[in-house]
């Protein structure tokens, strides 16, 4: 979200950590409508502040690499017998 005013409004509207994520919700809706399994991993690269764009540019190279490095382990866990069904994050955290 590029608008600093929208960032500040969201930061004030929600107590604690908050992430605006519209793209994953769209993928989830399409996958659910098609009956297709899906998973998502997002990396937060900036804060809801006036300096969000600068924060994004600073943190993106490291956070994108961390997310990419997490994919093989995530896929391995999801392929194990008894893995949590899509959308059941609490079950995945408990395993």
Q: What is the pLDDT of residues 23-37, one digit of tens each?
A: 888 888 898 899 887
Number of domains in the chain: 1
Which pLDDT score, from 0 to 100, does residue 87 have? 52
Confidence of residue 20 (pLDDT cuts 50, 70, 90): low
**Are the CB atoms for 24 and 42 separated by under 8 Å?**
yes
**Alpha carbons 37 and 85: distance in angstroms, whole number:** 8
Instruction: Say how many CA atoms lie within 13 Å of 67 toward its Cβ.
Output: 12
Q: Please state whether the predicted TM-score (pTM) of the whole model is above 0.75.
A: no
**Are the CB atoms for 19 and 70 separated by under 8 Å?**
no
Q: What is the pLDDT of residues 38-69, one digit of tens each?
A: 778 777 777 666 777 788 888 888 888 888 88
In this predicted model, which residue has the larger pLDDT, 28 or 8? 28
The boundaries of the domain holding residue 82 are 4-94
Residue 82 φ/ψ region, left for φ over 0, alpha for ψ in the -120 to 50 degree band, beta for the rest = left
Q: Which long-range contacts (CB under 8 A, 24 or more apart) does 40-47 make?
A: 41/67, 41/70, 41/71, 41/74, 42/67, 43/67, 44/19
């Amino acid at each position: 979200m590029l608008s600093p005013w929208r960032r500040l409004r969201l930061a004030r509207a929600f107590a604690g950590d908050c992430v605006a994520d519209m793209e994953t919700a769209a993928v989830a809706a399409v996958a659910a409508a098609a009956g297709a399994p899906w998973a998502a991993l997002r990396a937060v690269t900036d804060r809801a502040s006036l300096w969000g764009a600068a924060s994004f540019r600073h943190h993106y190279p490291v956070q994108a690499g961390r997310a990419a490095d997490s994919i093989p382990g995530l896929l391995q866990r999801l392929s194990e017998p008894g893995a949590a069904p899509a959308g059941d994050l609490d079950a995945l955290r408990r395993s």
